[in-house]
């Protein structure tokens, strides 16, 4: 530590000492006022004498040790002396605060204050009991309903419909929140061209769906290009056209084997069935703040 820094630390310590000394002069009178209120219900305690003794030592610090501190010329001696003075002041500070709080509490209860003391440290403030707070209610983890068969075990349309019926029991928003980057195998399966239809049960309308995907997972990121065109099956009018190149993680993700694909703010929840060489699943849109499965999707590999 340089000479100038030592002098600076010493000076700061002296300023702090002055602040603590001023506090004790004020708190002494406040404590005596509090003690006077409960004097009729209290008896002289050994702790009171100990506290008075500590305050007498504070006066001694002000007269003698401060004089020694100012008379010291060496920066190292000044720093050491300041540390000694500050340690004594802190001991008296802790005792005074504990005594003051205890006296105030007892004055409210009309009972004598009996601060506890030890030979090593004077700390009359009990350790506060941790406050009990109501636990924040959390939503229970939603169990995922798994189909009886896996996608690789599906061999016909009947098994496919049973599979998708079980998937429909799951909450899509939970799947979307838990979705992750496609695995390398899923990216490979999706490569190519697919075409088919989206059938909506509410108004019996039908959309044509065409998708082209070329991508792979590199360093944990899905890279490639894609093109998804949705159009009215009857008129051929384009309804949605999503395409892009580069990093595709914002548009493609997966959860529990599903391809979750964003198309113009809506979503496709698709599964690839190798034996059927097709993508099947659901078309979802937001209704009253929640995603609803409003259409079924079937696209064959071309």
- Per the CB < 8 A criterion, the answer to whether 294 and 283 are in contact is yes
3-class DSSP state for residue 97?
helix
Res 237: pLDDT: 95
184 in the same domain as 263: yes
101 shares a domain with 215:
no
What pLDDT band is residue 288 in, cutting at 50, 70 and 90? Answer: confident
Q: What is the pLDDT of residues 18-68, one digit of tens each?
A: 555 455 444 444 444 444 444 444 444 555 565 566 556 655 555 566 667
Structure tokens at 142: 């939603």
Question: What's the rounded mean pLDDT across residues 183-205?
Answer: 93
Structure tokens at 40: 């009729």
Half-sphere exposure of 16 (CA within 13 A, CB side): 15
- Same-domain check for residues 160 and 286: yes
Domain span at residue 288 reads 151-301
Structural domains in the chain (count)? 2
Q: How many Cα atoms within 13 Å fall on the side-chain side of residue 78?
A: 18
The stretch 72-78 carries a mean pLDDT of 71
Give the global pTM: 0.53
């Amino acid at each position: 530590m340089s000479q100038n820094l030592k002098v600076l630390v010493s000076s700061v310590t002296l300023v702090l000492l002055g602040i603590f000394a001023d506090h004790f002069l004020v708190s002494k009178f406040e404590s005596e006022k509090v003690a006077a209120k409960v004097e009729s219900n209290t008896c002289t305690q050994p702790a009171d004498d100990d506290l008075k003794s500590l305050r007498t030592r504070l006066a001694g610090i002000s007269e003698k040790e401060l004089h020694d501190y100012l008379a010291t010329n060496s920066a190292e001696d000044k720093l050491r002396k300041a540390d000694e003075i500050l340690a004594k002041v802190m001991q008296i500070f802790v005792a005074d605060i504990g005594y003051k709080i205890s006296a105030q509490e007892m004055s409210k209860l009309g009972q004598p204050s009996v601060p506890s003391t030890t030979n090593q440290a004077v700390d009359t403030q009990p350790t506060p009991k941790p406050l009990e707070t109501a636990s924040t209610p959390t939503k229970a983890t939603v169990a995922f309903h798994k189909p009886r068969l896996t996608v690789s075990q599906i061999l016909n349309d009947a098994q496919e419909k049973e599979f998708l019926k079980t998937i429909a029991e799951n909450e899509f928003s939970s799947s979307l929140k838990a979705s992750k980057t496609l695995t390398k195998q899923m990216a490979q399966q999706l490569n190519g061209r697919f075409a088919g239809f989206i059938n909506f049960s509410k108004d019996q309308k039908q959309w044509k769906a065409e998708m082209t995907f070329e991508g792979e997972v590199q360093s944990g990121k899905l890279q490639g290009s894609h093109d998804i065109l949705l159009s009215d099956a009857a008129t051929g009018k384009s309804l949605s056209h999503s395409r892009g190149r580069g990093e595709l993680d914002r548009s493609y993700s997966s959860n529990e084997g599903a391809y979750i694909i964003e198309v113009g703010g809506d979503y496709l929840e698709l599964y690839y069935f190798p034996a059927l060489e097709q993508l099947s699943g659901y078309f979802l849109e937001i209704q009253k703040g929640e995603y609803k499965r409003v259409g079924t999707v079937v696209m064959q590999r071309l």
